[in-house]
Amino acid sequence: MHILILPSEFFITKENPTAGIFQFDQARVLVEKGHKVGVLALKPLFTFRDLLVYLKLIIRGKGSPIELLKRVRNAMLPRPFAFQSTRILNINVIRYIGSHRENSYRDAQQQKTLWDKNGLYAFNKYCKENGRPDILYAHNMIFAGMVGEYLSNIANIPLVLQEHSSQHIKGSMLDDLNQLSSHYFNKIKNIFAVSPSLGFQLEKKYKLNDGKIKWLPNVISPEYEEVIPKKMYSSEGVFTFLNVGSLIELKGQEELILAFDAAIKDEANLRLKIVGKGELDGKLRQLILDLGIQDKVELLGYLNRSEIIKLMNNCDVIVSSSHYETFGVVLIEALSLGKPVIATRCGGPECIVDNDNGVLIPSRDIEKMKLALLEMYSGIHRYDGVHIQKSLIGKFGKEAFYSRIEKICKKEISDHNN
């Protein structure tokens, strides 16, 4: 098959090498299985307003004049010249590098129209260079799903949409974007969500038929399947909990730190490490200082994937304290290494965590989190790391994902052509 992927977000950029990482992991599995895979990366990198912000950085000595000139040049490129062809691990990518006015529009229909125009230019360029795809595979309705529907009609190619985003449920979407999303969720035939919970909530919000949105979970990154897990829970030394996620309110690290502070009053050899960056970094560091637990809690900032794998492999338990998750990639990464988890009941984790691999607790409940930390510490020996790893890979590994996506794509291509 020849599969053309349409992300709604950035895709493996120099500025953010982990952007679009879920789509990249899926693409790698498809390429490994012998399929031809391409990507249309259409999201504009910055607005004209961002150019002014970058100019201020230069004035303060923190930016590069050459980089500013490059951005200005790209912003002025006519649309036909604003698409860059590149190749990432045998994946053919057409990247939009031109005019950035799309991000300046507030009207949803204007944004959608401009995404359509860029999508058509990119699609035509892609087909000229790589041939016509058999199927379009869009990720997230806003705006890749809408562009996918537009291209599907023009080129007469089937479309599959996978929804990952919490924007529809937790985001503060304006009415026009809600209405536009509702129109396309009702119009597009083949829609999948990364968790049953997200699918149900989308059906309810947009008044879709029950069962219209099927479940297609994310795949674990292939790197994790290649790691040999270390022995679980050492009986000597400290017992380490690990949290990985952006430092934003939605991820619940403040409640986790407060729960951990309460827990170490009973068990002093517990430790907590938090990986991630975000707007709450300063607030969380101050909280740790105020509680006097800076010798037991570490904020490690941004780490790359290999560094996170190493940390996960050397910790005892991974904790997800989120207020809301559409899925829970960090959880499947941890479980693939045989590590038990603590997670909040917040949507996605419920389709991942069970009694054999971890504990589910209510979201935002500091007392329940404290008890879960202590119970995991005292009861860690009841978990079988080999079983956890085997079960997880069987459900969310690359073979499981490929079996699902191959069946979906073949069916849609066959239905479309008959």
Q: Which two tokens stand for residue 191?
A: 């829609």
Query: What is the pLDDT, as a whole number, of residue 17?
Result: 83
Omega cis (within 30) before 396? no
Among 189, 200, 84, 87, which residue's Cα sits nearest to residue 138? Answer: 189
One-letter amino acid at 129 equals E
Among 6, 33, 9, which residue's Cα sits nearest to residue 403? Answer: 33
Cα gap 10→356, rounded to integer Å: 36
Query: What is the pLDDT, as a whole number, of residue 87?
Result: 96
Under a CB-based contact definition with an 8 Å cutoff, are residues 215 and 195 in contact?
A: yes
Q: Which two tokens stand for residue 292?
A: 């006097």
Average pLDDT for residues 158-170, to the nearest whole number? Answer: 94
Average pLDDT for residues 321-328, to the nearest whole number? Answer: 96
State pLDDT tens for residues 338-376: 999 999 999 999 999 999 999 999 999 999 999 999 999
Range from 109-118, 152-161, 254-263, 279-288 carrying the lowest mean pLDDT: 109-118
Range from 32-41, 46-55, 335-344, 369-378 carrying the lowest mean pLDDT: 46-55
Range from 19-23, 203-207, 232-236, 334-338 carrying the lowest mean pLDDT: 232-236
Task: Kindly state the DSSP code that residue 101 receives in the 8-state scheme.
Answer: G
pTM of the model as a whole: 0.90
Beta-strand pair 83-88/91-96? antiparallel
Range from 76-90, 95-109, 164-178 carrying the lowest mean pLDDT: 95-109
Query: What is the pLDDT, as a whole number, of residue 415?
Result: 93
DSSP 7-19: ESS--S-SS-TTT
Q: How is domain 222-396 classified at the CATH fold level? A: Rossmann fold (3.40.50)
Cα gap 241→275, rounded to integer Å: 11
> Residues of 26-59 as b/e, b for ≥16 C-beta within 10 angstroms?
bbbbbeeeebbbbbbbbbbbebeebeeebeeeee
Residue 196 has pLDDT above 80, yes or no: yes
Position 140 confidence tier, pLDDT thresholds 50, 70, 90: very high
Q: How is domain 2-219+399-417 classified at the CATH fold level? A: Rossmann fold (3.40.50)
Distance of CA 356 to the CA centre of its chain: 25
State pLDDT tens for residues 277-319: 999 999 999 999 999 999 999 999 999 989 999 999 999 999 9
Strand order in the sheet with 270-275: 297-299, 270-275, 239-244, 317-320, 341-345, 358-362
Task: Kindly state the DSSP code that residue 391 receives in the 8-state scheme.
Answer: H
The rounded mean pLDDT for the chain is: 91
What is the distance between the terminal CA atoms of the chain, rounded to a whole angstrom?
17
Cα gap 62→290, rounded to integer Å: 32
State pLDDT tens for residues 220-270: 998 898 887 776 665 557 899 999 999 999 999 999 999 999 999 999 999
Residue showing tokens 């890979």: 393
Range from 67-71, 163-167, 220-224, 320-324 carrying the lowest mean pLDDT: 67-71
Residues 6+ apart with CB under 8 A from 233: 239, 316, 380, 381
Say which residue, 231 or 57, is predicted with more confidence.
Answer: 57
Helix (H) or strand (E) holding 240: strand 239-244
Query: What is the pLDDT, as a whole number, of residue 97?
Result: 84
Query: What is the pLDDT, as a whole number, of residue 384?
Result: 92
For the chain, residues classed under CATH 3.40.50.2000 are 2-219+399-417, 222-396
Query: What is the pLDDT, as a whole number, of residue 99?
Result: 64
Three-state DSSP class for residue 397:
coil
